[in-house]
Amino acid sequence: MPAAIRSVLARDRWALAGTVTVVVIGLVAIFADVLTAIEGHDPYTYDASALDPASGLPAGPFGGVSGEHWFGVEPLTGRDLFAIVVHGARTSFLIGLAATLVSIGLGVLIGAAAGYLGGWIDRVIVWSADVFLGFPYLVFMIALGAVVPVEFPRALLLIVVIGFFGWPATARIVRAQVLTLKERNFVKAARTLGASPWEVFRAELLPNLWGPVLVMATLSVPGKVGLEAALSFLGVGVLPPTPSWGRSISAAIEWVAVDPAFLLFPGLALFGVTWGFNALGDGLRDALDPKWGRKR
Amino acid sequence: MISLRYAATRVGSMALVLLIVAFCTFVVFYLVPSDPALMACGKPCTPENLALAREFMGFDEPWWQQFLTFLGGIFTGRTFGSGATAIHCAAPCFGYSFRQNADVLDLIGDRLPVTVSLAVGAAVLWVVLGVGAGVLAALRKDSWFDRVALGASVIGVSAPVYLVGLLGILVLGFKLDVVPVGNYTPFGEDPVRWAWGLVLPWCVLAFAHGAHYVKLTRTQMIDTMGEDFIRTARAKGVAERTVVGKHALRNVLLPVVTLTGLDLGSLLGGAVITERVFSLPGLGGLLIEAVHGRDLPTLLGCTLFAGFLVVVANAVVDLSYGVLDPRARLT
């Protein structure tokens, strides 16, 4: 599989650019503490000295960008925007990747069970997937944000809920793949030799599912990152003071006319991650699925 | 065209899906520790008052009993309390918001026109522009237009709708001052101002959603134009305009209809983000207010209503298949 990725990156410039973007922002997320230590600010400390006392706006042009505050500061609080964006990357990646892991894991297990076992299990799973796809999940998640107690860790809630609602799409594709794999001779042979369904899944099916699963996972990360940002944007995601791009963008609504820089930095970061994963995923799909590659 | 039996099973399964949505939402909302009676009871809240409030709202019963009462209310209506202070919620009763002292269905009905205006207007725009751009890009593959359309669609797919919306407000609203920002006029009051006030939200939503349609239409169109029946039509001497417009476009329409139906269904229920960005007083606003006010009956009503729209959109998509594609006639 790494060989396949390498060949995609060698041939597809956009996929390469997307990967570089994702890796850079990923490294920023990992080394958030180091970066903010170099700059000398944290995302939580209020700093009135960086503000214009009359208006509450950042002192200095373009949102107060300076050698001291690399991305300027937040209006009203004076918190360092660079530190907020950098630590926001951590929130975004953590929730986006963990939720993808949950949804892809569930989707592969459930989809493979439906395709391989067949019968009533298949029917129940296909039907539940239909119900799930008809579920107004965004509205439900927003409402859930209101009723779950504040003591419950928000990041965990978001990972579980976003991940849980993502399984049907994966399960459908995996089920279709497994239905064709099931008829191949190596799977039949394993079954005849007395392999249990779990052994067949692990040794025969899973190695042949990596391609589509990898493409699905890559393409579903941006949606999950975007969902976290959207929920935080609406005030039902990550709670303050944990930095989140979505919440910063939401706060920027009030200031967009006078301090556009406050919108620009978190917005660009969010766009970068979404675009990067999309470009990489499209490239992988073109390479791994010959039917798609032809059309480009 | 559509058999009675198919229609019956279809309606039955829609009702079942909605029942499950209602059940899940109900169980989650009512099992999570949050007591609406406590908030309605006032301060200081004596245990007697709390018990009275609970009884009045019907929260004193076990949860499954409450769920059955809720379902019953949809068909027969409900009355909360008794005597002079009783509140009657006429059938179909989807709950009563004690927070806003209003029937949940009325609350939804008040806000629905805004969301419908937003969603339908945007959908018309994105289907026309998205499909148009996709077809043109496919016919002139690798031309500058194709590149620009693809580039714009890449941005549209990746940029969150609130980001595009805020940039639109910033550039078009504040800096250039060409479109109004943040005022909604009902259609009945002044249709011109209604449309003018919604221009920016429509364009923003159309940009975000249309991107998918450009990609989809372009791929489908390139595929279809390479098929044998297109070559046959051209060989027969059919005008290129008819080849594209009648033969090819018909094949492209099926997936477009699917996507439109699903998008519209979820958008009507969940234009929450767009409404917040443009401060439009629609269903999304109602939902957010209910979240902040811990207004459980309204939350339940909104979720159920959003589910209803998704389910109906799915059904409409399935039915339109039979009209568009004779091979998919339903039996």
Each residue's pLDDT tens digit, A38-77: 777 777 777 777 667 777 777 777 776 776 777 777 777 7
Nearest one of B10, B3, B8 to B315, comparing CA atoms: B10
Quickly count: other Cβ atoms within 10 Å of residue A235's Cβ: 18
Chain B 37-76, residues with CB within 8 Å of chain A CB atoms = none
d(CA A11, CA A91): 32
Confidence of residue A294 (pLDDT cuts 50, 70, 90): very low
Beta-sheet strands, E only, within chain B? 78-80, 87-89, 96-97, 102-103
Give the rounded percent of residues in chain A with a pLDDT score beyond 90: 7
**What pLDDT does B315 receive?**
81
Mean of all residue pLDDT scores within chain B: 80
Contact between B152 and B229 under an 8 Å Cβ cutoff? The reply is: no
* Residue that the structure tokens 């989707």 belong to: A107
* Cα A186 to Cα A272: distance, rounded to the nearest angstrom: 43
Q: Indicate whether B323 pLDDT > 80.
A: no
| Whether the predicted pLDDT of A292 surpasses 60 | no
- Give A-chain residues touching B307 at CB under 8 angstroms: 134-136
Report chain A residues whose CB lies below 8 A from the CB of B219: 295
ipTM over 0.85: no
B35 Cα to chain A: minimum distance (Å): 10
Q: What is the distance in angstroms between the Cα of B104 and the nearest Cα belonging to chain A?
A: 15
Residues 120..159 of A with a Cβ closer than 8 Å to B: which? 130-131, 134-136, 138-140, 142-149
Find residues 266-295 of chain B whose CB sits inside 8 Å of chain A: 266, 269-270, 272-273, 276-277, 287-288, 290-292, 294
**Beta pairing, strands B96-97 & B102-103:** antiparallel
pTM of the model: 0.83
Tokens matching residue A4: 């396949």
Q: Is the minimum CB–CB distance between A38 and chain B shorter than 8 Å?
A: no
Which position has the token pair 């929450």?
B272
Q: Quick one: which of B260, B287, B259, B257 has its CA closest to B271?
A: B287
Is A271 at the interface with chain B, CB within 8 A? Answer: yes
Question: Is A274 within 8 Å of B303 when comparing Cβ atoms?
Answer: no
